[in-house]
Amino acid sequence: MTDLQERSLSLLAGLGVDRTQLAAGPLAVRSPVDGSLLAELAIAGPAEVASAIGMARAASLAWRDVPAPQRGELVRLLGEELRAAKPQLGELVSIEAGKIGTEGLGEVQEMIDICDFAVGLSRQLYGLTIASERPGHRMMETWHPLGVVGVITAFNFPVAVWAWNAALALVCGNAVVWKPSEKTPLTALACQAIFARAAQRFGQAPAQLNQVVVGLRDTGEALVDDARVALVSATGSTRMGRAVGPRVAQRFGRSLLELGGNNAVIVTPSADLDLAVRGIAFAAVGTAGQRCTSTRRLIVHASVKDALVARLQAAFAKLPIGSPLEAGTLVGPLIDRQAFEAMQAALVAARAEGGTVTGGERVLVAEFPQAFYVRPAIAEMPAQTATVRHETFAPILYVLAYADFADAIALQNGVPQGLSSAIFSNDLREAERFLSASGSDCGIANVNIGTSGAEIGGAFGGEKETGGGRESGSDAWRAYMRRATNTVNYSRELPLAQGVKFDV
Ligand code: NAD
């Protein structure tokens, strides 16, 4: 048994995961830290998925009649359990997904934050009262639970995305069936054990309100195709969303898609370059460039380009790359060999398109022959080529120069994805233009901070090939409920709308 396997088994046991689940089938789970095998899990086939949905459906029928503020109490307890489990779950995220320590812990903090948000929300699921045109009538809208929410998640936020969905779905009166990434199912089993403790403390909430189905794409497809799943909230690549969206639409289900990004930072001549270097470096290389909001494109005014690129190259050259479990590391591993090969292919293509690349090479090969650590790359490009327009899920920062501000906005918007964007500028006109209707076309547009690291209070998601969904804060809860418009007649007459007469 490797050290990491031993450590993860001990963390999983401490978090309450039954050991028999960890040597139960063909799904090999490996750590990106050193490539070692952590566990072998059973895969849920169509019958298991159908049964999980059936249990969730039954649980949702009782749960929908529990008053929303009481449902909030379950989520409050979940937040408490997460607070208690934070060090262990954070470390497990680092082992399974390769995130550095503070990011693993930060991910759990994000789960706690969304629980707190959802507890407050449980008393604020407001509908409108609407003026009726008819005397003695009142109109209003009420919001009701949907039933079962299917949640499909990506490897790079293995637990937070579940919490974003589950905390809202639960206070909204739904049950959840979760298909985690096949690359990170252990943290999902840990979350299920944590949830079970909260449900037990709550008393009347069935543990079946949250189900985990582990597996590959077919397991996800079984969830997607089941008509009992009212909403499919799917986070992952645009390729996945292109498959999932039409399948859910085919059966008139709802989908909430959170897909790939190709996020840009614009740096204008008036920008504070110290701030820009720090903001861009964190967003470009944090999580080894494996965030949906990672900065992938730098669109910089020609007058500051050389100075900024030189500073970024110097910062990238001395980044501490290494095991995410060691203090001081800022750049951990790529998730697997496939991710490494996709990065190398993108760099070859960028060079062929006229780009000049620094960095990008594999490092620490002797120490970690079975894992994939890379030095983040900077690729100065002559134009926004096909490779730049594609999301490669690795730390590559493409640099494009601009002369005219309108061109900078056109470049920013000139990609198929529309998740996150930022501008570094001290020119109020440029900053406001960037945020205006004719500015950034993304779901997230920031000023003087980078593209990644969103807080849970705002709605999260993006446009175009990013899928259009919104999760987390603001009024994202509405996606997890159905709206009923009610008209109540408290008069003795029956007037019809629009002056229609129909006397019988
Ligand atoms: P992926 O698309 O390979 O897998 C995501 C999930 O979808 C996995 O659980 C997978 O098993 C499942 N899946 C794949 N095909 C499916 C299908 N046809 N039917 C049902 N389920 C299917 O993504 P990944 O490599 O795990 O994650 C990286 C991608 O996710 C990047 O593109 C990144 O930008 C994106 N992402 C987006 C957000 C966001 O909020 N917009 C957040 C995190 C990650």
Q: Which protein residue's CA is at the shortest distance from atom 40 of ligand 1?
A: 258
The closest of 347, 9, 336 to 189, measured between CA atoms, is 9
Given the residues 221, 258, 391, 465, the one annotated as active site: 258
Domain-embedded: residue 228: yes
Mean pLDDT, the chain, whole residue set: 97
Query: 231 with 280, same domain?
Result: no
- Is 221 a residue of the active site? no
**How far is ligand 1, taken at its centre, from the CA of residue 96, in Å?**
16
Total domains, the chain: 2
DSSP single-letter state for residue 327: T
Q: Sign of the C-alpha dihedral, residues 493, 494, 500, 503? A: negative
User: Widest CA span of the chain, in angstroms?
Assistant: 89
Query: 249 with 289, same domain?
Result: no
Query: 294 with 243, same domain?
Result: no
Q: Which residues of 178-198 are buried (b: 16+ CB within 10 A; e: fewer)?
A: bbbbbbbbbbbbbbbbbbbbb
Global pTM? Answer: 0.98
Domain-embedded: residue 41: no
Tokens describing residue 95: 């082992």
Query: 156 with 290, same domain?
Result: no
Atom of ligand 1 nearest to the CA of 179: 9
Percentage, residues of the chain above pLDDT 90: 98
User: Residue written as tokens 């061109």?
Assistant: 407
Atom of ligand 1 nearest to the CA of 224: 20
Q: Which protein residue's CA is at the shortest distance from atom 20 of ligand 1?
A: 220
Atom of ligand 1 nearest to the CA of 155: 26
What ipTM did this prediction achieve? Answer: 0.98
The SS3 call for residue 112 is helix
Query: 335 with 399, same domain?
Result: yes
Q: Which protein residue's CA is at the shortest distance from atom 35 of ligand 1?
A: 236
Q: Which protein residue's CA is at the shortest distance from atom 43 of ligand 1?
A: 292
Which of 161, 178, 217, 334 should be mutated for ligand 1, with most atoms under 8 A from CB? 217
Query: 319 with 432, same domain?
Result: yes
Please report, for residues 27, 413, 433, the alpha-carbon distance to residue 440 in angstroms, rounded to integers and kept in the order given: 42, 6, 9
Query: 52 with 178, same domain?
Result: yes
Interhelix angle 68-97/3-15, rounded to 10 degrees, is 170
Q: How far apart are CA 113 and CA 104, in angstroms?
A: 14
Domain-embedded: residue 244: yes
**How far is ligand 1, taken at its centre, from the CA of residue 58, in Å?**
28
Query: 110 with 196, same domain?
Result: yes
Domain-embedded: residue 141: yes
Domain-embedded: residue 30: no
Tokens describing residue 248: 């859910």
Residues near ligand 1 (Cβ within 6 A): 152-157, 179, 181-182, 216-217, 220-221, 224, 235-237, 240, 243-244, 258-261, 292, 391, 393, 419, 466
Q: Is the pLDDT of residue 291 over 90?
A: yes
Which of 153, 162, 183, 235 should be mutated for ligand 1, with most atoms under 8 A from CB? 235
**How far is ligand 1, taken at its centre, from the CA of residue 291, in Å?**
12
Q: What does the angle CA 402 – CA 408 – CA 414 come to, to the nearest 5 degrees? A: 120
Domain-embedded: residue 28: no
Residue 303 belongs to what domain range? 263-447
Within a 10 A sphere around the Cβ of 404, how many other Cβ atoms?
Answer: 10
Query: 250 with 304, same domain?
Result: no
pLDDT of residue 207: 82
**How far is ligand 1, taken at its centre, from the CA of residue 382, in Å?**
31
Query: 81 with 166, same domain?
Result: yes
Q: What average pLDDT does range 433-439 have in this prediction?
A: 98
Q: Is the pLDDT of residue 138 over 80?
A: yes
Could you give phi then psi for residue 402, rounded to 5 degrees?
-135, 160
CATH number of the domain to which 331 belongs:
3.40.309.10
Atom of ligand 1 nearest to the CA of 152: 9
Percentage, residues of the chain above pLDDT 70: 100
List 396's β-bridge partners, or say none: 377
Query: 300 with 188, same domain?
Result: no
Cβ atoms of residues 470 and 423 within 8 Å: no
Domain-embedded: residue 373: yes
pLDDT of residue 204: 76
The closest of 180, 172, 222, 169 to 54, measured between CA atoms, is 222
Tokens describing residue 152: 């499909």
Atom of ligand 1 nearest to the CA of 243: 18
List 297's β-bridge partners, or say none: 264, 398
Query: 311 with 370, same domain?
Result: yes
Q: Is the pLDDT of residue 205 over 80?
A: no
Q: Is the pLDDT of residue 383 over 90?
A: yes
DSSP string, 55-74: HHHHHHHHHTTS-HHHHHHH
Q: How far apart are CA 323 and CA 328, in angstroms?
A: 10
The closest of 341, 343, 331, 337 to 390, measured between CA atoms, is 343
**How far is ligand 1, taken at its centre, from the CA of residue 393, in Å?**
11
pLDDT of residue 206: 79
Please report, for residues 95, 195, 365, 372, 443, the alpha-carbon distance to residue 369 in angstroms, rounded to integers and kept in the order given: 17, 37, 5, 8, 39
**How far is ligand 1, taken at its centre, from the CA of residue 65, in Å?**
33
The closest of 175, 142, 211, 156 to 71, measured between CA atoms, is 175
Within a 10 A sphere around the Cβ of 107, how many other Cβ atoms?
Answer: 25
Domain-embedded: residue 353: yes
Q: How far apart are CA 326 and CA 161, in angstroms?
A: 25
Residue pLDDT, tens place only, 146-186: 999 999 999 999 999 999 999 999 999 999 999 999 999 99
CATH number of the domain to which 82 belongs:
3.40.605.10
**How far is ligand 1, taken at its centre, from the CA of residue 462, in Å?**
15
Q: Which residues contact 290 (CB under 8 A, 6 or more apart)?
A: 156, 334, 335, 339, 393, 394, 395
